[in-house]
């Protein structure tokens, strides 16, 4: 259909194939389309990419330098924290960038524990991981997917076991990996029922391991543990115990935190919220019995 039919009566002809919108928006004489282009809606990936940069590390195992994607400090806006202190930020899940993994030898570590290793640890990592590790082609992507981040979490857990880290380090890697599964499940379309369930099962398994390691670290290590003071750490234990169904343990820890002089107001507030949730769950459990 010719939109311009009839104009030939006005002496205007030859418009049969004129495309009224065109595909090249920049041809506007006044530059308006050019301006519109710059405000076009960004994809979630483009938004996330604005928060990260490539940081160069030298691997403590193989000595090669490599790049790891890192979150720019203080740029991401914190929206909320889950009961177990998982941070939720606007436009980015920063937990995806918490692991540093060497693409050459397979050594990986939670960024807060990135440090030189002893010669014994290096030999152990080389024997157990590097010897069979297939060098990864770094994908030219601007962000890490959840699956990549989870893979890095598992590599970091393996490395921490092989180099015989403190229980707190292993537990913290488990906690972060559990958070990655939670993040992945939250970002899947609701229709992916089976995959969401699988992620939730994985999350629970990693949370259980995190809890075991933290209980053990609480008995053997000195504070700060995982960078947390005693009150924050006990709160985290209470939250994990609650999540894993150890309601009595959780209630005891909550009682102990509430009885302490209030040095950490944020944690006191969190404990108050956990206390309410616990109360309901304990009632529900009693009704079931």
Residues found near Zn ion in the complex (CB under 5 A):
59, 61-62, 102, 104-105, 107
Task: Return the closest-CA partner of residue 241 out of 215, 221, 267, 217.
Answer: 215
> Smallest distance, Å, CB 171 to Zn ion?
24
> Smallest distance, Å, CB 167 to Zn ion?
24
> Smallest distance, Å, CB 134 to Zn ion?
13
Residue 57 or 223 with smaller CB distance to Zn ion: 57
Strand 65-71 with 52-58, pairing: antiparallel
Residue 65 or 285 with smaller CB distance to Zn ion: 65
Contacting residues for 34 by C-beta, under 8 A, at least 6 apart: 25, 26, 28
Residue 63 or 147 with smaller CB distance to Zn ion: 63
Q: Is 262 exposed, middle or buried (0-12, 13-18, 19+ CB in 10 A)?
A: exposed
Residue 163 or 270 with smaller CB distance to Zn ion: 163
Residue 200: CA count within 13 A, CB half-sphere: 10
Cα–Cα separations (whole angstroms), residue 136 to 53, 66, 111, 114, 131: 20, 12, 20, 20, 14
Asked if residues 164 and 130 have their Cβ atoms less than 8 Å apart, the reply is no
Residue 163 or 242 with smaller CB distance to Zn ion: 163
> Smallest distance, Å, CB 147 to Zn ion?
21
> Smallest distance, Å, CB 131 to Zn ion?
12
Strand 99-101 with 108-110, pairing: antiparallel
């Amino acid at each position: 259909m010719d939109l311009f039919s009839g104009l030939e009566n006005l002496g205007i002809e030859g418009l049969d194939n004129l495309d009224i919108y065109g595909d090249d928006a920049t041809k506007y004489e006044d530059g308006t389309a050019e301006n519109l282009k710059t405000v076009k809606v960004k994809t979630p990936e483009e938004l996330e990419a604005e928060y990260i940069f490539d940081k160069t590390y030298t691997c403590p195992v193989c000595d090669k330098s490599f790049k790891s994607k890192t979150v720019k400090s203080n740029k991401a806006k914190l929206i909320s924290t889950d009961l177990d202190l998982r941070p939720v930020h606007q436009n980015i899940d920063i937990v995806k960038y918490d692991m540093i993994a060497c693409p050459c030898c397979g050594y990986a570590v939670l960024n807060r524990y990135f440090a030189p290793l002893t010669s014994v640890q290096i030999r152990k990592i080389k024997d157990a991981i590097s010897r069979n590790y297939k060098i990864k082609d770094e994908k030219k992507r601007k962000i890490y997917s959840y699956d990549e981040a989870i893979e890095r979490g598992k590599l970091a857990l393996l490395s921490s076991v092989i180099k015989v880290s403190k229980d707190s380090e292993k537990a913290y890697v488990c906690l972060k990996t559990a958070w990655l599964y939670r993040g992945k499940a939250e970002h899947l379309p609701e229709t992916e029922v089976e995959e969401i369930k699988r992620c939730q099962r994985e999350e629970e398994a990693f949370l259980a391991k995190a809890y075991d390691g933290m209980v053990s670290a609480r008995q053997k290590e000195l504070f700060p543990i995982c960078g947390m003071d005693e009150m924050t750490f006990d709160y985290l234990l209470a939250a994990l115990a609650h999540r894993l169904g150890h309601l009595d343990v959780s209630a005891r820890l909550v009682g102990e935190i509430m009885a302490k002089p209030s040095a950490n107001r944020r944690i006191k507030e969190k404990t108050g919220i956990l206390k309410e949730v616990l109360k309901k769950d304990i009632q529900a459990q009693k009704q079931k019995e």
